[in-house]
């Protein structure tokens, strides 16, 4: 049975409070302290949602939320999955696959006359981005980043469809931000269509929005289909949107903070962006000229909430909640070509999509290698930025790092169980690409395919493990649950 869905960030926070997973922190400083607290709390593993209020230098009610998806229960809540599946991320992944089994039937957004996002509208000289307690998240960041858990809205100038994407946004001055979009992403392709016509690209940047819409904006939705439509399908009803004040773009009616503006061609104007602590856990991209957005209007609710998702060297929001969707996409791709796939996951501690683990029931010689090669080349599910593909047997839970390490240490022979593929597509934020290669624009790296599974040629003679069968352990758990768990 699916859980009742929320509508907007505030309703989601209320449901998180009902789960007992929300912590309010008062009096923190936007300058690094919010980032430090977020890092400390999330470094312990699963953590509560953090709501920062009465932030230094700002009036009460102007809040920052962080650590949004650092628990399986909040992931289940966000994606509309059963709470009784939240004991395991792979169980949630399986529940998501059940939900998508009949296919995704997009439900288009529905325009309404007005919404809470328009409780306050500032245009022209009234625009002041420093109205909001935007954090400086990391010590070496080049400035304050209002867009980390954000959603950028654009419209394709040729076909008219609306794209949503999450791209980081740095505040430059009271009415100017930079927008960092990696080349080849849908947002980049759309912007270039405007720039090639000598036009700026209209954008609306949601800096505190519905977590489901935010997760969908991190998802590889096919070109030409709006993430709004996927969010509507996941919710079971259309996302309500209002028309922008200065841009012809649909904006979530329940959004907390929205910046409307013009994304300028880099041929017209750039500003230095960064450095920024990137998703790999390093300052790999450096400080470089970036195109800017001239902010024409700011819309916000009374007592607005800024949603932050700063990359940390701990399991990250992107790596838990949104990680289910790319893992599901990879599993779907594997099922088309490889039999016997029992589980798929990205190891969250290794950074988003860097390390894929696939559990299979081996059925023939070369089965493990086939699965690894398909996974390594699966477009957008793993191909860009992925470093390792690990194949394990069906008795290994790919989301359990302890079990995966056990398989690596006891079933992988380094001399014969690792293949290296060179010259794979990568991105500038990878800290391991040598500086001279980056200078030449050669953004490539290698991948390792690791077979941490029993050799198929003598699999029947492999020593049996001491692990009990899952179905037996489940019976024991049910019998002794109240006493032991």
The CA-based angle 159-160-166, given to 5 degrees, is: 110
Whole-number Å distance between alpha carbons of 81 and 152: 26
Question: Quick check: 434 and 380 in contact, CB under 8 A?
Answer: no
* Distance (Å, whole) CA 68 – CA 56: 22
Q: How far is CA 219 from the centre of its chain?
A: 7
How many angstroms separate the Cα of 302 from the Cα of each of 223, 250, 321, 424?
35, 20, 28, 48
Known active-site residue 3: no
How far is it, in rounded angstroms, from Cα 276 to Cα 171?
A: 12
The one catalytic residue in 21, 131, 260, 278 is 278
How far is residue 135 CA from its own chain's centroid?
19
Contacts (Cβ under 8 Å, ≥6 apart) of 135: 30, 31, 32, 34, 35, 64, 144, 145, 308, 310
Cis peptide before 275 (omega within 30 of 0): yes
Q: Which of 116, 198, 201, 225 is nearest to 152 (CA)?
A: 201
Euclidean distance between CA atoms 195 and 209, whole angstroms:
28
Partners of 429 in beta bridges: none
Which DSSP letter does residue 6 get? Answer: P
Residues recognised as catalytic? 278
């Amino acid at each position: 049975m699916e859980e009742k869905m929320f509508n907007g960030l505030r309703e989601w926070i209320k449901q998180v409070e009902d789960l007992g997973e929300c912590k309010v922190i008062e009096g923190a400083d936007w300058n690094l302290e919010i980032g430090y607290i977020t890092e400390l709390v999330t470094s312990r593993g699963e953590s509560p949602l953090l709501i920062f209020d009465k932030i230094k230098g700002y009036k009460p009610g102007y809040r920052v939320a962080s650590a949004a998806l650092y628990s399986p229960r909040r992931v289940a809540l966000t994606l509309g999955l059963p709470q009784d599946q939240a004991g395991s991320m792979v169980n949630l992944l399986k529940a998501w696959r059940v939900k998508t089994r009949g296919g995704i039937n997009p439900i288009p957004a529905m325009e309404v006359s007005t919404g809470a996002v328009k409780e306050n509208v500032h245009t022209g000289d009234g625009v002041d981005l420093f109205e909001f307690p935007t954090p400086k998240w990391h010590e070496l960041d080049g400035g304050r980043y209002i867009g980390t858990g954000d959603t950028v809205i654009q419209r394709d100038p040729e076909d008219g469809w609306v794209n949503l994407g999450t791209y980081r946004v740095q505040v430059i001055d009271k009415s100017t931000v930079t927008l960092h979009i990696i080349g080849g992403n849908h947002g980049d392709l759309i912007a270039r269509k405007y720039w090639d016509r000598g036009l700026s690209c209209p954008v609306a940047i949601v800096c505190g929005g519905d977590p489901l819409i935010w997760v969908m904006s991190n998802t590889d939705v096919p070109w030409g289909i709006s993430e709004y439509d996927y969010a509507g399908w996941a919710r079971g009803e259309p996302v309500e949107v209002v028309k922008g004040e200065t841009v012809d773009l649909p904006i979530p009616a329940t959004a907390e903070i929205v910046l409307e503006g013009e994304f300028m061609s880099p041929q017209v104007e750039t500003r230095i962006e960064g450095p920024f602590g990137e998703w790999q856990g390093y300052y790999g991209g450096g400080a470089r000229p970036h195109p800017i957005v001239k902010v024409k209007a700011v819309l916000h609710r009374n007592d607005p909430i800024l949603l932050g998702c700063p990359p940390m060297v701990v399991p990250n929001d992107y790596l838990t909640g949104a990680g289910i969707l790319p893992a599901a996409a990879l599993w779907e791709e594997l099922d088309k070509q490889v039999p016997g796939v029992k589980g798929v996951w990205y190891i969250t501690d290794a950074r988003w999509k860097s390390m894929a683990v696939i559990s299979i029931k081996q059925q023939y010689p070369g089965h493990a290698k086939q699965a690894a090669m398909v996974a390594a080349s699966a477009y957008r599910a793993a191909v860009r930025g992925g470093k390792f593909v690990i194949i394990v047997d069906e008795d290994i839970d790919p989301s359990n790092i302890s079990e995966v390490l056990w398989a690596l240490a006891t079933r992988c022979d380094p001399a014969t169980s690792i293949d290296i593929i060179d010259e794979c597509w990568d991105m500038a934020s990878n800290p391991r690409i040598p500086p001279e290669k980056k200078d030449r624009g050669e953004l490539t790296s290698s991948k390792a395919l690791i077979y941490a599974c029993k050799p198929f040629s003598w699999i029947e003679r492999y020593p049996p493990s001491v692990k009990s069968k899952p179905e037996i352990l489940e019976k024991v758990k049910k019998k002794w649950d109240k006493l032991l768990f």
